[in-house]
Structure 1
């Protein structure tokens, strides 16, 4: 073993650091028992991917917390840049917030933060004494995170002025799904997201005005909207001047898919080139009538249109023919085989358009 270690130590730091970066974080730090040199190399890793899988009892939990303290709080690491932190928190033993670890990551110039959890609760104190300040953060991914209060969730964005990518799913506050505009004034919290270019959000959790500037947008519609919410949706829908790719996905729990919602989005996406619709396989579609107008993006920019989970129903057929008849630059339409045969004989305005299944 000693000979192998000596051989490894002959490599320059750059190669050894690359080798360590390919290993799971826990395994990389286990190598520190081989040589003191490996301690500094491990702490110099700019990306950390850590999860608590296998932590099933209090003894495991103590070891895990000690490991996290060693990785995140060691004096050796404090002056080194940490660009990415991916933290998976699945254990039922989580009780405390990861305040110290997140604060240490923030001080090290964190650019990408990914949090996955079923039990992790966050408050602004997790980001520095009731004030969120992540000036270097460019990417934020949060899945199944609990906040003490829905306003805490909104405050998170206020301190991320350089955010370029946002992915939010399953956010809850006080045990309920966070809903945009539900008693919290959101405008001021999101006004700093001018650099955001890509976003994956839930329609009810993040107001669309927050992602007005993006080039790529994926929206998850996780439940049916009430008449009041639909009215609010219509009034608050911003103009997406920069969007070129849009994906709208309906949850399987929704019994009704409405093409009118799609059309409203298209009207506010003048430069859209690629449109993807993901329908729930068990959905039924509200009857849809041909509109008397054509959105600018459909007539002048749309090149790709894809529907996943379409049905052999009249409304789906009508919307597809509407696109074929009005999308002058359409190159590819990807549609379910149940509609493909009927659409193949439909007139299309684009001479280069191809139908695929």
Structure 2
């Protein structure tokens, strides 16, 4: 029996699962394979369309986008409406939005049994508030979207909430939004314009959080196991992250390594630490001047001496303060297995300079006999 015949003999639910990994336009194309596939796509419980615009050709982009909208309309009109739509994913890079069409697609989806809603559009589209009272939603991911003033939030099944570059004419109340998500496990907030009128509730089931703006009290995420945080978060920590095992920090040009160690003092069980070191043109201007040397603290955070297994420094440049921190970690982390140094692949270091970086750190004392020092180049 031919391979394609074997696949065609699978039950509908298995074929649908296989097709769920493909963009919808490719799924529809399978209708020409055989009679077995001709109408299968009409009963699929997912919707996944992605449009890549041509920013340099207005006429071509406008024509292509109109064709894209027509394709989406045709799919939604042709599919079996008696079949539930569980996943709705729409991504568009075009600036020639048709908000009426898009809203016409989304409203029926959230009025049905949709579980996964993932939208990445443009600022011209305003998300209807009905989305925030969809009782079947488990995953909600919104990117580059304006949100109507939301008076009621009721998302009892929501486990994953990602908000990336969200704006609101009146300022969406983040405290109100989170209060309507009692079962949230994964929270990501970045580029969010918010007003806070109410009190933030604790999220007892939250496992992962990524917070890149000073938008909510860190105490709200104190029970997570994985945390992504911007070091500019200027909040006094008077509690510990008792469950935290992985921390990713963005370290800005201030290079506040002592601030990093202060945060680590409140992460007693931390096993994995990743620090992204970002530099600005101001750092470049200061290149060649005397670099910052920081004083080692008198005590070592408990997580470093007792639990830390992996430490990664991304966008490492070999400055004195970076060498100091890497040396401090290797010299005090008794159970460290991996010290990973990631150098920007677009950096202009010569081969000799890179080799010097490697030798400099390789000569540092290691407290752990099993520690491996590795160098790689990241984009």
- The TM-score normalised by the length of structure 1 is 0.74
Q: 2: distance between equivalents of 1:355 and 1:37?
A: 55
Query: 5 Å matches for 1:85-234?
Result: 85-94=88-97, 96=99, 98-99=102-103, 101-119=105-123, 120-122=125-127, 124-128=129-133, 130-171=151-192, 178=193, 184-185=196-197, 187-188=199-200, 191=201, 193-205=203-215, 207-220=217-230, 225=232, 230=234, 233-234=235-236
Q: What is the CA-CA distance between 1:267 and the residue it aligns to? A: 1.4
Q: Quick one: which of 302, 308, 311 aligns to 2:317?
A: 311
Q: Which position in structure 2 is the counterpart of 1:333?
A: 339
1:301-347 deviation per Cα after TM superposition (whole angstroms, max 9, x unaligned): 10111111223333222222222232121112123655442333333
Q: What is the CA-CA distance between 1:113 and the residue it aligns to? A: 3.4
Q: 1: distance between equivalents of 2:50 and 2:337?
A: 43
Q: 2: distance between equivalents of 1:110 and 1:160?
A: 16
1:186-227 deviation per Cα after TM superposition (whole angstroms, max 9, x unaligned): 643xx2532221233313345433332221222246xxx5xx
Q: Which moved more, 1:101-110 or 1:31-40?
A: 31-40
Contact 1:100 1:126 in 2 (8 A): no
Change (3 A) 1:262 1:94: same
- RMSD between aligned residues: 3.8
Query: 5 Å matches for 1:195-344?
Result: 195-205=205-215, 207-220=217-230, 225=232, 230=234, 233-235=235-237, 238-250=239-251, 254-280=252-278, 283=283, 286-335=292-341, 339-344=357-362
Q: 1: distance between equivalents of 2:230 and 2:77?
A: 37
Q: Which position in structure 1 is the counterpart of 2:57?
A: none
Give aligned pairs, total.
329
Extract unaligned runs of 5+ from structure 1: 1-5, 172-177
Q: 2: distance between equivalents of 1:299 and 1:244?
A: 14
Q: Which position in structure 2 is the counterpart of 1:51?
A: 50
SS at match of 1:162: coil
Contact 2:175 2:199 in 1 (8 A): no
- The TM-score normalised by the length of structure 2 is 0.70
Q: Which moved more, 1:334-343 or 1:72-81?
A: 72-81
Q: 2: distance between equivalents of 1:293 and 1:310?
A: 25
Q: Which position in structure 1 is the counterpart of 2:144?
A: none
